[in-house]
Amino acid sequence: MALSNDQKLLTTTHYWLAVKFIPRLAIPKKLMLVEKFGLAALFDINTDLSNSGLNKPQLAAIQHPDWKKINNIIDDSTRCHSHIIHYDSPEYPKLLKEIYDPPLIFFARGNLELLSQHQIAIVGSRNASASGREIAQNLAGQLAKHFVVTSGLALGIDAYAHQGTLQVGGFTIAVVATGLDITYPARHKKLQKDILQNNGLIISEFLPGVTPKPGHFPKRNRLISGLSLGVLVVEASLKSGSLITARCALEQGREVFAVPSSIFNQQAKGCHWLIKQGAKLVEEIADIEDEFKEFSLDGLDLSGSKEKDNSAEKSEKQDLCNDPMLASVGYEITPVDLVVSRSKLPIDVVLTRLTVLELRGLVSAVPGGYLKL
């Protein structure tokens, strides 16, 4: 094949971005085209695509790619201090290539070596209970001694999974649903910075400048599970997006784990449903480690010290149902001293507030502590 002068200036990244922009064509079909014709040859003007089943817009995208747009994307990625990982990149995770619709291109900022390490994903509710957040943080800290912990940088369980990993000097990957020049939610700018400063990694399938949209999160979720050996769901309602991640994991042949909770905890209904469907019930870290003994990352240096983020969460809403004190009481019996520890308030204030909550019918005093109603 004779290359034109313009094509001689193009890189493999240019070609994969051009493949990405073939409109309304499924990823498996794009990969079939590349396999059949070759990456660069696919875009050669002399390549006969008449029997490829492509429509006019698709043929136009192949025969006349918008190289200016593609150059701008590469420049934008450079300004974001990110790397463009394409399907042929040596850093592209082998496990990710196994899924039905692997991303042809994704953007990565941070420690690329983590892409070749074994990962466990931790996901769950954005509106997690105090006990759910503690479980996510503790399990992440224990898993981080053997695996890279992957999650979605979302509020709730995701954030505590990342934080629990960092607190023990572990490595974590955040898969986001925006361009890497945008932090979503905005309040996680510090968490994102902490991940990068501690040799972690932020990755996204979306171009720089792309803002969060509802349809982006299911696409993001398939990457979280696709990168990982297994997915641990700590807390999730029946309508939680975390169940999408679990479903993706099952479709991709990954292991699914779920943490049980009180039958009165609506945020745990999704976990209980997963367990009924065959997900492995997790009470302790050994329940997960037993499944992946051959994948342990004991060779990683996890000795680096990390600063703990001890700042208390502040509720944005002032109504009683979102009272931080109420969030400190679980659906299982919660001793008063644990409520004091969680709320970081003096015991006399805690006892007064608990009495108010009990009068409002939101908690109940029981032997050994309090229960959320």
- Residue 344 is predicted with a pLDDT of 83
For residue 43, give Cα distances in angstroms to 14, 91, 189.
11, 24, 40
Q: Per CATH, which fold does 320-372 belong to?
A: Arc Repressor Mutant, subunit A (1.10.10)
Cα(242)–Cα(245) distance, rounded to whole angstroms?
A: 5
- Residue 293 is predicted with a pLDDT of 73
Span 107-295: which CATH code? 3.40.50.450
Residue 313 confidence (pLDDT) above 80: no
Cα(218)–Cα(220) distance, rounded to whole angstroms?
A: 5
Residue 234: alpha-carbon gap to chain centroid: 13
Residue 305 confidence (pLDDT) above 50: no
For residue 174, give the H/E element and its range. Answer: strand 172-176
Higher pLDDT, 6 or 200: 200
DSSP H helices, the chain, are: 5-8, 12-20, 27-37, 39-42, 56-63, 67-79, 130-143, 157-167, 189-197, 216-226, 242-251, 269-276, 286-289, 324-327, 336-343, 347-359
- Residue 343 is predicted with a pLDDT of 83
- Residue 217 is predicted with a pLDDT of 95
What token pair was written down for 30? 């794009």
Split at pLDDT 50, 70, 90, the class of 306 is: very low
What secondary structure does DSSP assign to 294-320, as a single string?
Answer: GG--TTS----------PPP--S--SG
* Contact between residue 22 and residue 61 where contact means Cβ atoms under 8 Å apart: yes
Mean pLDDT of 160-178: 98
- Identical fold for domains 107-295 and 320-372, yes or no, is no
- Where do the structural domains in the chain lie, given as residue ranges? 5-79, 107-295, 320-372
Split at pLDDT 50, 70, 90, the class of 286 is: very high
Tell me the whole-structure pTM to 2 decimals.
Answer: 0.81
- Residue 24 is predicted with a pLDDT of 95
Digit-coded pLDDT (tens) for 125-155? 999 999 999 999 999 999 999 999 999 999 9
pLDDT more than 70, % of the chain: 89
Digit-coded pLDDT (tens) for 186-236? 999 999 999 999 999 999 999 999 999 999 999 999 999 999 999 999 999
C-beta neighbour count of 10 within 10 angstroms: 19
Residue 300 confidence (pLDDT) above 70: no
